[in-house]
Chains A and B, each alone.
Chain A
């Protein structure tokens, strides 16, 4: 089986009870129990003021974790390619559009319409960092994290250049929330590079594997984290993040991709040579 090798240079994390990658370490390592507390979204300081005013939750969330990961990796985002992945984009914006369009006058705001595109977060990010590097925005419903990681790693291999992966999900208000319940905002960003450096956190070897060979999808032992993992597509990253936080060598995690096809991720911590 073909494996993709990438080097992890930085992590961004923001979710309920997980304020940042450093702040989440005790919970991810199992030293402290995870406690669900609402995600606090920072204002995206990087954006020009016009765009900052127009930014909704999905944009704030994605920008927060993207910012943390590039800072962690000490990389210049100006020339950085990006892969954004999300199951649903901006839930509140979608609800307000559908509500207005079901109303009598159907007047909708141009900003709401512009922000309704699935690649809104990517667009705002590239404006914020003035980057013309390629960017894509994916959706694979519950498997959006796995699909994003696969594409980002494939791009790293194809271009021999670093790629920033941003996986994030934002809840819908009612009535859509009843159809697609997502408990809170959750985002994770991984800075992936083709070669290792002093800053490398780990080496990841990714391969596609039939479910019979890959085994079951990895879970979290902490019940609260496990509840997040099963409820939010981007939180499918949690078993990988736990393995990274623990710094265990030679671990592997299995991530959902398709019903019969999994993404098998072998993790080697603190890799030396590439």
Chain B
């Protein structure tokens, strides 16, 4: 692909709202995870909760969209001057020439889960439950498009944990086809009961803090996050570049990765081919690294197959938790921070490295001038996506 300018980006995770606390947390090796309870969920686990969502009010006129996921979206949009950047893009290109393509896995499903507790004696849901504006997957993209006055093509990509990596591909294709000139991409996912109890039912939720690449890893810690990036056909000053997108499917199992990471290999190779880069040109790999025994093992093999075992890599989920449909966007933003601030983020919570894993896993952050990063996002349904990002030049 022709390199595509990333004119602005922001992220809000358990490390804090906006780029600054995230950068500081990553550089200091601080985790945003804590063993606190989410609502009245009685599971023994650590979560990466974003603080302050109870105090967020949505813009006037968009009250029907009120739910945890859209509050998180609005909190995230208002960091780092992102709203202004989006408005500049619509002013420059025209409201119909800017797309909104966002990833989410559960959207506002928490709103439905809570509404089911308040069913009337006849079983009906309360009148204040707004299905279209909260539960429906598209609610996120509709809310963001309304809030920013964007009128170009808009939809949600919902492919579980690869969702907000794949949206970069949608945007790049639409810009290349001349359908649009800019796109607001990224993803938002918020904590809810379905994912907490669901991953618990699969025995993939760790009771301890998640420990990617550790010999004693026992599963993931769930987090929530909002991440946004603005891609534009051309800009005066880019903050980074989208160099390649690779997508594939495992075609193997709904909730377990292919043991050799065959689909992951295809996604990484497709991203490198799209970027016209050799594996040796990648300076840092942000792993999917969920800390489930099978996922880390399969990804380690896949990375070894494509890159060998020299390229520095880490999973940042020990800091943010696994933010599911937002993870691809979050980790693209972390990749951009690493490129801009010249460092490799360390993979937290590692005590004893799994001796059967061979990737060049970095447990502590260190300074390094990076030209390119690759970010992996793999999800249920065997959905894989890899992004290659380049530094501002």
Contacts and interface: CB of A to CB of B under 8 A. Distances in A.
B325 to A, nearest CB: 9
A130 B139 CA distance: 32
B379 A119 contact: yes
A18 interface: no
A116 interface: yes
Interface of B: 96, 105, 112-113, 116-117, 119, 123-125, 129, 131-132, 136-139, 141-142, 145, 151-160, 166, 170, 173-174, 176-179, 193-194, 197-199, 201-202, 247-255, 262-263, 266, 270, 379-383
Given A127-B382, A132-B249, A179 B131 contact: yes
28 contacts: A51-B254, A88-B136, A88-B137, A97-B198, A101-B116, A108-B194, A110-B202, A110-B255, A114-B380, A118-B159, A119-B381, A127-B253, A132-B250, A132-B266, A133-B248, A135-B159, A137-B381, A139-B155, A140-B138, A141-B139, A151-B155, A155-B173, A175-B124, A179-B131, A180-B132, A208-B179, A258-B96, A261-B96
A271 interface: no
B116 A102 contact: yes
A141 to B, nearest CB: 4
A196 interface: no
Contacts of A157: 173, 177
A134 B113 contact: no
Contacts of A118: 105, 137, 158-160
A219 interface: no
A141 B156 CA distance: 9
Contacts of B113: 98, 101-102
A108 B173 CA distance: 39
A100 to B, nearest CB: 8
A89 B136 CA distance: 10
A51, A88, A258 — most chain B CB neighbours (10 Å): A258
B154 A154 contact: no
A210 B153 CA distance: 11
A117 B105 contact: yes
* Chain B interface SS verdict (over half): mixed
A127 B139 CA distance: 29
Contact of A140 (B154, B160, B176): B154
Interface residues of A, number: 67
Contact of B156 (A99, A139, A261): A139
Contact of B201 (A2, A110, A175): A110
B202 A119 contact: no
B192 to A, nearest CB: 9
Interface string A107-134: 1111011111111101110110111111
Contacts of B138: 87, 139-141, 144
A108 B123 contact: no
Contact of B202 (A87, A113, A117, A257): A113
Contact of A101 (B177, B193, B247): B193
A98 B158 CA distance: 19
Nearest to B383: A119
Contacts of A97: 194, 198
A131 B249 contact: yes
Given A127-B253, A137-B158, A261-B153, 9 more contacts: A101-B197, A109-B201, A113-B197, A117-B380, A119-B158, A119-B159, A119-B383, A133-B248, A136-B170
Contacts of B105: 117-118
A40 interface: no
Given A140-B138, A155-B173, A120 B178 contact: no
A231 interface: no
Interface string A172-191: 00111011100000000000
